[in-house]
Structure 1
Amino acid sequence: MPEPYASAAPTERTFGRRQIQAGHALMMVLGRTIDHPIGEVWAALTDPDALEQYVGRPEGDLRRGGNYELPDGTRGAILRCDPPRLLTVSFTRPGGRTAELEIHLAAEDSQTRIELKYASVRSGFFLIDSESGEWAAGPGWEFFLDHVTGYLGGEVFEETMGVIGWTSLEGEQLRLYRERNAEWARTKEEWDQEHEAVPGLS
């Protein structure tokens, strides 16, 4: 993972709740401004040739209502697609429960405001699991946004997000991952204090 994007643009973090096909879900929300126009950001998020460079090439019927699969076995359906502002997909990792990912884009002069919403019924999905090599969703999606920014800035990735596990991170990247994980824990604690906890979503 390239070091120049280890300190990417600040990320706004919050939580919410959302009804998805798998049930009543906890939703994490990431907000960030990317220094590229909306058309370029949309292409980076949806063009298979672009995704191949930093995530892994999606295969399948890549249109609204179609299904996709990534090289790491992640699969899902394209639920909504409104270029260049909205993309919603279901998201199931191998052996995992189905979640939903929704990305909103808004043009801000020559920049793009991106809001990423990830909702899952799995408890504690946003935090690190010390017994697993899987990405925790909180810092994981922040690193995803780093990769989007890096790709748009011309970075060439030796490894895509699909083959990197958090346990393989070292040095500054590992420090950043742990720092972001701790920020998500604090954000969740603050959110819980402001909202009545729902059983199974704490």
Structure 2
Amino acid sequence: MMSEEKSALTQTERTFGRRQIQAGHALMMLISRAIPHPIGEVWAAVTDPDRLEQYVGRPEGDLRRGGTYELPDGTRGDILRCDPPRMLTLSVQRPGGHSAELELHLTAEDSRTRIDLKYASVRKGFVLIDAASGEWAAGPGWEFFLDSLSDFLNGENPEEPLGIIGWRTFEGEQLGLYQARNAEWEKVKADWDHEHEATPGPS
């Protein structure tokens, strides 16, 4: 029987690409996962402030296309696109000045929903753990967001919303999963870098 950690690692597809965002030409990571809930329920969970409050943190602001939002941890940005129930695109400004863009694309698959989460940033090293900064690594960090979304849809509410806690509070199996996911992202990033390394010019 597959272990819980192995199952958690294999349920997610991880890839990279490039994307033009407001801050410039950015590296983009893509997480794809299927969630066993209808698309309407998933869309409500990622856009309704009352629901987001329970597992991420309550967004405040002018919550409509063209409006702005801010989360309790100080993350803020613009709502660039909102096409219910399939597409949500946000600019993301982290405390400390890091600029990025997040896009959620939902696709109905019978009674399930496929989520393609795209996160692009011009900041180097944003995907992987940086022990010096202690910030969430975007790769494993956004996977934990999808975990929290799934748990919420399954009726399991966390003791503290994900946006309030930091990965340094993890221990035991949770910390092991965070580190294992980071290792998977390291492999994918190394493969992508190798495939896209600059071709040497003529000597």
1:173 and 2:174 aligned: yes
Partner of 1:95: 96
Work out the percentage of aligned pairs sharing the same amino acid. Answer: 73
What stretches of structure 1 move > 4 A for 4+ residues in a row?
A: 4-9
CA contact (8 A) 2:5 2:177 kept: no
Deviation at 1:194, TM superposition (A): 1.5
Kindly indicate whether structure 1 or structure 2 has the higher relative contact order, using CA contacts under 8 Å at least 6 residues apart.
Answer: 1
CA contact (8 A) 1:80 1:88 kept: yes
Please list the CA deviations of residues 67-99 of structure 1 after superposition, one character each: whole Å capped at 9, or x if unmatched: 000011000000000000000000111112210
Distance 1:37 1:120 in 2: 30
- Take 1:125 and 1:173, find their aligned partners in 2: how far apart are those partners? 21
Number of residue equivalences: 195
Q: 1:6 to 1:146 in 2, by over 3 A?
A: farther
Specify the SS of the correspondent of 2:163.
Answer: helix
Within-5 A mapping of 1:187-202: 187-196=188-197
Q: Which amino acid aligns with 2:103?
A: E
* 1:1-202 → structure 2 map (5 Å cutoff): 8=8, 10-196=11-197
Structure 1, unaligned runs of 5 or more: none
User: Alpha carbons of 1:5 and 1:179: their partners in 2 closer, same or farther (altered >3 Å)?
Assistant: closer
TM-score (norm 2): 0.92
Rg (Cα) greater in structure: 2
> C-alpha root-mean-square deviation of aligned residues, in Å?
1.7
1:71 alignment partner AA: P
Residue type matched to 2:65 in 1? R
| CA spacing shift, 1:86–1:197, aligned 2, 3 Å | farther
User: TM-score normalised to the size of structure 1?
Assistant: 0.93
Q: Are the aligned partners of 1:86 and 1:104 in contact in 2 as well (CA < 8 Å)?
A: yes
1:39 and 1:84 in contact (8 A); partners too: yes
TM-aligned CA deviation for residue 5 of structure 1: 9.8
Structure 2: gaps (5+ residues): none
Q: Give 1:7 shift.
A: 5.3
